[in-house]
Amino acid sequence: MKKVLLREYYELCEGGVCQDLLTEEEKRYVANGGMILSGKLQEADVQNGNGRIYPHRVLMREMENYSKLVNERRALGELDHPDDSVINLKNASHMITEVWWDDKNVMGKVKVLNTPSGKILQALVNDGASLGISSRGLGSVHESTNGTIVEDDFQLICFDFVSEPSTPGAYMSISEGKNYEEPNVFTKADKINRMLNDILLKDSGDNE
């Protein structure tokens, strides 16, 4: 089964920042001109506006893998979605600095970078633009009576910022008819870590 590019859209908190999610130090950083955005990044076991369902087990595994990129300060994203699975560094606008689970919601904090795209992102937020966070990943899907289920081969690549579409599905379409190779954002160590997480989560599921 071929992998296709999967993109999902979620709104951030009003104005892009959930103040109750920021530490006092982060609030001071924002007050001094920096920008940290926060809110929901993804959601498990719920049919999203694009009709897809990400099983909790699959998303939990991918967030475990993604947390390694966060801790190593490699969790970059772009302003708007490109049409491929590669993160283009010259277009990087932000970096995910923290992720955590709130029930079945993946929450996160995002530091806006001092780059050309980051400056555009900050200007948009300052001018009151309605923004959303959108996951980008590779994977296959299958149809069920409950909706379109994302398969176990899903690989989360990054989270990008997009403008709010009038119809959520406008920014969450699958790029049909185009095959994608495994993204090169993952190092050999990342791939080994991914394999270990797969084994650990499978063993955990078997013991439940």
Query: Does the CA dihedral 143-50-134-102 come out positive or negative?
Result: negative
d(CA 163, CA 132): 6
- Between the alpha carbon of residue 174 and those of residues 164, 171, 206, the distances in Å are 18, 9, 32
What was the pLDDT predicted at 174? 22
d(CA 152, CA 203): 15
Amino acid letter for position 98: E
pLDDT by 10s per residue, the chain, length 208: 667 777 765 666 655 556 566 778 777 877 888 888 888 888 899 888 778 899 999 999 999 999 999 999 999 999 987 878 889 999 999 999 999 999 998 988 889 999 999 999 999 888 888 778 888 899 999 999 888 999 999 999 999 988 753 223 322 222 222 334 454 555 556 566 666 666 666 666 555 5
- Rg (the chain; Cα; Å): 17
- Between the alpha carbon of residue 59 and those of residues 123, 148, 155, 173, the distances in Å are 32, 15, 9, 19
What was the pLDDT predicted at 119? 94
d(CA 204, CA 208): 7
Q: What angle do CA 63, 66, 72 make, to 5 degrees?
A: 145
What was the pLDDT predicted at 190? 58
d(CA 153, CA 139): 6
Structure tokens at 12: 């951030």
Query: How many structural domains is the chain composed of?
Result: 1
Query: Does the CA dihedral 205-181-97-174 come out positive or negative?
Result: negative
Residue range of the domain that includes 134: 4-207
List all residues 6 or more positions away from 39 whose beta carbon is below 8 Å from its beta carbon: 10, 11, 12, 13, 16, 18, 21, 107, 108, 133
